[in-house]
Structure 1
Amino acid sequence: MNRPTFPILMFAIAGLIVSGCSQQSGQTQADAGKGEETTIEARVPVEIATARRAPVTQAFQGTASLEAVAVSEVVSKATGVVLQVLVEEGDSVNKGDVLARMESDRQRLALAQAKADLAKLESDFQRTQKMFERKLIANDAFDQVRFGLETQRAVVAMQELELSYTQIRAPISGVVSQRLVKEGNLVQQNQSLFRIDDFDPLEAVVAVPEREMQVIRAGQPVKMLVDAVPGVPFDGVVARVSPVVDASSGTFRVVAHFRDEQGRLRSGMFGRLSIVFDVRDEVLVVPRQALLAEDQDAAVYQIDSDGVARRQSVTLGHVGDGLAEIRDGLDSGAIVVTLGQSGLREGTKVQVLNPPAEVPGGSAAETAQLAAVAVKTEGS
């Protein structure tokens, strides 16, 4: 017996119609949502700054340890017992000051004997000279007495020198950095007793890449920061520049001198140095972080009056110290993006995060311009 197929077919067609209507309704809503997303375009949050005119310095940055400009190892020139030590570590001394005294009895006796012998020879020489003038003695006899007198004078000078060695004197002016002897010690000849460092000035030896050889000169100013005195820059000067490049490292030696009247700098301290070799007044600069690149493809994102980011190629001058010199591509007062560049493309609308009052380096007119851009980016 055949079952009727017409009712089944009608139900199937009705189901397809309902399904089609549902899909069409869903598609219409999705299209409407896309239209709303296109209409309400999201802005990319950024921070901005203005291109402005300011002085810039071009400098080489390096590190070095401070060293005494002169160091003297004071040694004993005689053997004997130390009777008195007159200085301690940290004491300032001048060249020639007595640092310690050694026993000197033997040297004094030897000097007294030498002087007595000298007095006898001088008396003999005077008698011999008178006899020689009267031609009572031969030339050889007179010369022998004269040579003996000169020899004894040298002996006296030697004994005086030996006696002077019992007083240990400072060979240079400076600060006693080490005391290696105590009273009562028996010291030998050439034994180290003291170390003296001359801290005026202190010097720092910096290895500078050979590419900087044409711009580093003696007499250029140097700034230095040390961890031991945080936040205090010390002024120095380039004292010497090596004329040769180390083939193994590709660097040359630069010696800078520093003076600190307050005595805060010490030998061995680690310093961060900046050798200034060029200073330019009132050039156009932007914050260095605004640069998308620092080579021949240097560019920034500039914000126009509508709050839209435009990629702008620029020609760079000196780059350093947080600022980049712009020689071409921007005008003074131009607004550039300093943070958030990664989310930008040509024509992207932006939202300014830093209020105009927080933008560094702007004049009153530039601040007003920034405020207008900020308002426009917030209100659009």
Structure 2
Amino acid sequence: MIGKRGASGVFRMRKSIVALGALAASAGLAYVGTTTDTGRDILARFSANEASAQAPAANERGPAAPPPVETAQARVQQSRLEIRSVGTLASDESVTLAAEVAGRVAEIRFAEGTGVQEGDVLVKLDDSLIRAELADAQARRKLAEANYARANSLSQSGIGTARARDEAVANLAIARAAEELAQVRLDKCYIRAPFSGVMGLRQVSSGAYVQAGAAIANLEKIDTLKLDFRLPENNLADVKTGQNVDVIVDALPGKTFSAQIYAIDPQVDVNGRSLRIRARMPNQEGLLRPGLFARINVIGADRGEVVVIPEAAVVPRGSEVFVFKIVDNKAVEVGVELGERRSGEVEITRGLAPGDMVIVSGHNRARDGRPVDIIAQQQRTS
């Protein structure tokens, strides 16, 4: 048998074991709770470590390469005043041929679209009736001449009276007038070219009966052409007779023609406040036609030296324009003011100096103050 002391020792040992077990269980629960509560922190530390690992790889690529651009140099050239307008070409002479007397069209002696010479008979009307009237008038004139000669002889011999002589003189004048009238009517049966030119399309056929005033065809003189155009009244001091004009016709792309101002209307059009101007231009080759639309550049006085750049360098932004100037291999945005434009170039009245380099290709990649890679420079040989 176990004594009291032995039993008490065993009891105390069991109590200690239970206490230790409870402590261990409590510690275990505490560990589990701690692990669960700090999971988010572990994920955050993991993500941060991943980002740290990737950062050096990104830094190894370095900054973006400068964008490639093409440039051109601002240069100086002589400038002259140029005034642009639009106009219309017209025949040097133009007429619509018409019958002056009524009659049947007997002959048409021209071909449409062909050249004719001044005085050529173009259309003949039936003249049989008028020829008969002319023959009658000629016979009456001869009779009147004979009567006059007889009356004049009798008057000089003292046999005839002065009255008989006067009547003979009057009758002769009437007969001659009738003959001339018949001759004129006969001549008007022949419609002639009033000047050398090119025939248009005819509006009558052979055998047709036409009234006096009926249109036959148009005749155009086109070896030289007129150019009619207008300029604003504030250009009055800039234009004068003898001034040269460059002409471009849309119907003949790539060609430039020359004209010269020969007339300026003395009256300003009060409706449009414009000057009516007429120039003359040669057309010996017959390339141009009356009625063509023309783009006009009036060449004015010299204006001295100006700075010019290619039009491709200009970048519009709203109501303003600017260019990218190259400074230390960087694109610098510079506002400019434009002048005249011509042949793919534009005058710069403010903002650039001769020799400045500007970007002409690659604006969309350039940024103000950022480096650029100049891969080519445009050269102008003329």
Deviation of the 1:291 alpha carbon:
2.8
> Which string of whole-angstrom CA distances, capped at 9 and with x for unpartnered residues, describes residues 208-228 of structure 1?
444544434333323333354
Q: Which amino acid letter does the alignment assign opposite residue 372 of structure 2? A: V
Aligned-partner Cα distance in 2 for 1:294–1:22: 49
Aligned-partner Cα distance in 1 for 2:330–2:320: 21
Deviation of the 1:113 alpha carbon:
1.9
Confirm or deny that 1:151 pairs with 2:174: yes
Which of 323, 328, 341 is equivalent to 2:363?
Answer: 341
Structure 2 residue aligned with 1:71: 94
Query: What SS class does the counterpart of residue 236 from structure 1 fall into?
Result: strand
Structure 2 residue aligned with 1:366: none
Aligned-partner Cα distance in 1 for 2:57–2:241: 70
Aligned length: 358
Aligned-partner Cα distance in 2 for 1:308–1:250: 49
Structure 1 residue aligned with 2:203: 180
Confirm or deny that 1:40 pairs with 2:72: no
Conserved 8 A contact 1:60-1:274: yes
Deviation of the 1:324 alpha carbon:
1.8
Larger radius of gyration: 2
Confirm or deny that 1:258 pairs with 2:281: yes
Deviation of the 1:361 alpha carbon:
1.0
Confirm or deny that 1:11 pairs with 2:35: yes
Aligned-partner Cα distance in 2 for 1:150–1:80: 29
Deviation of the 1:105 alpha carbon:
2.5
Deviation of the 1:117 alpha carbon:
1.8
Deviation of the 1:49 alpha carbon:
0.9
Structure 2, unaligned runs of 5 or more:
1-21
Structure 2 residue aligned with 1:201: 224
Confirm or deny that 1:324 pairs with 2:324: no
Deviation of the 1:155 alpha carbon:
1.4
Conserved 8 A contact 1:50-1:362: no
Structure 2 residue aligned with 1:93: 116
Aligned-partner Cα distance in 1 for 2:149–2:157: 13
Deviation of the 1:161 alpha carbon:
0.4
Aligned-partner Cα distance in 1 for 2:156–2:317: 95
Alpha carbons of structure 1 residues 183 and 35: separation in structure 2 relative to 1, 3 Å:
same
Aligned-partner Cα distance in 1 for 2:306–2:198: 46
Structure 2 residue aligned with 1:369: none
> Which string of whole-angstrom CA distances, capped at 9 and with x for unpartnered residues, describes residues 350-369 of structure 1?
1234x23xx13169xxxxxx
Q: Which amino acid letter does the alignment assign opposite residue 71 of structure 2? A: I
Deviation of the 1:24 alpha carbon:
4.7
Confirm or deny that 1:360 pairs with 2:382: no
Conserved 8 A contact 1:52-1:362: no
Q: What's the TM-score once normalised by structure 1's chain length?
A: 0.77
Matches within 5 A, 1:278-289: 278=301, 283-289=306-312
Query: What SS class does the counterpart of residue 254 from structure 2 fall into?
Result: strand
Deviation of the 1:177 alpha carbon:
0.8
Aligned-partner Cα distance in 1 for 2:292–2:101: 35
Conserved 8 A contact 2:223-2:286: no
Structure 1 residue aligned with 2:5: none
Identity percentage of aligned residues: 26
Deviation of the 1:308 alpha carbon:
0.8
> Which string of whole-angstrom CA distances, capped at 9 and with x for unpartnered residues, describes residues 163-189 of structure 1?
111222112321111223344333333
Aligned-partner Cα distance in 2 for 1:252–1:136: 76
Confirm or deny that 1:109 pairs with 2:109: no
> Which string of whole-angstrom CA distances, capped at 9 and with x for unpartnered residues, describes residues 26-59 of structure 1?
565677678668x624423332111123455543
Alpha carbons of structure 1 residues 213 and 295: separation in structure 2 relative to 1, 3 Å:
farther
Aligned-partner Cα distance in 2 for 1:223–1:236: 6
Q: Which amino acid letter does the alignment assign opposite residue 324 of structure 1? A: V
Alpha carbons of structure 1 residues 239 and 116: separation in structure 2 relative to 1, 3 Å:
same
